[in-house]
Each structure stands twice: as C-alpha cells, then as structure tokens.
C-alpha cells in the first residue's frame, strides 16, 4: 500500500517512509526521519531530523517531534534522536525534544496517550500505556514507568522518576520521585494513598491490593527510621512489593511522602 501525501506537505527525499501512511496538509518531514507503516499525521505536524517513528501512531495537528533540546549548554552539532514506538496518540501541539546527549534518544514506548500541549523534555523515557493530560510538562531526563497517569497542568522536575501505575493529580508540583502504585497531589506534592482504582483496572486482585496496603503502612510508618521500614518491606514476598522496594533503592532524588 502506498502512502497518501497531501500536495502541500514537505517531505524530504532523505526521509525513510514505510507504507500506508496518511500525511496531511502542511506536514513537514525533514532529513533523516524514519517513519514506519500506517501512521496518520494530521495537518501541520513537524517531524524534525533524527525522529524515528514506529507503526500505527496518530499524531494530531501541529505536534512537533524532535526539536532541539531546551538546554542552554546543548551543542547543535550533536547527533541525537527521538524514538517513538507504535500505536501512540499524540494530540494537538504536543512537543517532544530530542536528546541532549550524543547518540542518545528521547524515548516514547507503545500505546501511550499524550493530550494537547504536553511537553516531553530532552532525554525523557516513557514506557507503555502512559496517559498524560493537557498542559503537563516533563523536564529533561524524566522517566515514567508503564501505566502511570499524569493529570493536567503538572510540572515535573528534571531527573524525576514516576513509577508503575502511579497517579498524579492536576497542577501538582513534582520535584522528587513518585512511587509506583501511589496517588499524589498538591503543591508541594504529597502521597494521598494507593491508586486503588488504577490497580483494579490493571487487573490487580484483592490479595494483591492487600499486600500493597501493608506495604503502604510499613513505608509510611513515621515511628521508625526509613532503613528499618525498607527492611520490613523487603520481607513481603510479592512482586509488586519488591518492585516498590527496588524503585526506592534506586532513587537519587528521594521520593514524595504522605502528610505526617
């Protein structure tokens, strides 16, 4: 199946296009872009050099993929990339910066949904099935695990990690790591409990959630030192509790806590 390209689109001869793509009016595809199969690019989309797009993505009006990093120290001669998987939806005015490091990529996995005016800064890495609501910005080097939900108007500090199935409330200010399975809200942000609705929707059983409730109580027991609490957490023989533990142990910025 051939590609359908609007006559006003500007597509570089040096771009690599698969098949079955629909490319709308005034779309710009620069040199060294790789576009897979069966993607839909609506009017005004810009794919900058170094963008590598998988299959069956739908990119809405005026999204810009692969723009220069918003980093004053960045050398424009550096070769870096944006790598996007398959079956993602990027709504209007989404912007994704390419990486700031030589031969590195800003990464978006599969089946993510980024609503209008979401910004992913340079060197971010998002896994799969992440949802981000309108007007949210992620600073450089932010990582987001599978099935996290980030509400609208959230500002995320660079180098922050957001865990699996975490849910961040609207307009929250995120300056530290967001633990997996937790709900977070506020400015300054704080943990409000487990993301029980998200856990159930993800197929967690009653017994799974009971273990995470126990993990939550252990972790936020302010009567003992964190080291003691983590030792108790390590004794919970459950994959989700162990993921929570390893996430904390890998934290470099610390993590948001609940209200004491």
Catalytic machinery residues? 122-123, 140
Where would I find the H helices in the chain? 196-201, 206-219, 226-234, 239-249
DSSP 38-55: S-EE-TT-EE-TTEEE-S
Closest residue by Cα to residue 135 from 92, 175, 87, 99 = 92
Are 137 and 155 in contact, with CB atoms under 8 Å apart? Answer: yes
Distance from C-alpha of 145 to C-alpha of 249, rounded to nearest angstrom: 16
CA distance 81 to 123: 9
Please give the Cα distance from 134 to 240 (Å, whole number): 29
Q: Half-sphere exposure of residue 111, counting CA atoms within 13 Å on the CB side?
A: 6
Q: In which residue are the tokens 């993602």 written?
A: 88
CA 253 to chain centre: 18
């Amino acid at each position: 199946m051939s590609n359908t390209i609007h006559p006003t689109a500007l597509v570089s001869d040096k771009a690599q296009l698969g098949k079955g793509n629909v490319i709308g009016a005034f779309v710009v595809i620069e040199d060294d872009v790789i576009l897979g199969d069966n993607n839909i690019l609506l009017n005004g989309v810009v794919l900058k050099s170094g963008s590598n797009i998988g299959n069956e993505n739908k990119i809405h009006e005026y999204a810009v993929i692969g723009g220069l990093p918003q980093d004053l120290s960045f050398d424009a001669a550096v070769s870096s990339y944006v790598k996007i998987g398959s079956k993602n939806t990027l709504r209007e005015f989404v912007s994704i910066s390419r990486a700031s490091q030589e031969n590195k990529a800003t990464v978006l996995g599969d089946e993510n949904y980024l609503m209008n005016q979401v910004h992913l800064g340079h060197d971010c890495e998002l896994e799969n099935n992440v949802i981000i609501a309108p007007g949210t910005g992620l600073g450089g080097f932010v990582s987001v695990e599978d099935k996290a939900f980030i509400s609208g108007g959230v500002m995320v500090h660079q180098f922050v990690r957001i865990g699996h199935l975490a849910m961040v409330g609207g307009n929250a200010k995120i300056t530290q790591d967001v633990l997996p399975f937790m709900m977070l809200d506020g400015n300054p942000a704080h943990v409000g409990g487990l993301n029980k609705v998200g856990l159930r929707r993800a197929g967690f059983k009653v017994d799974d959630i009971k273990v995470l409730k126990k993990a939550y109580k252990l972790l936020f027991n302010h009567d003992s030192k964190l080291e003691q609490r983590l030792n108790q957490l390590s004794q919970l023989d459950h994959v989700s509790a162990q993921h929570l533990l390893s996430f904390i142990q890998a934290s470099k910025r610390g993590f948001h806590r609940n209200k004491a």
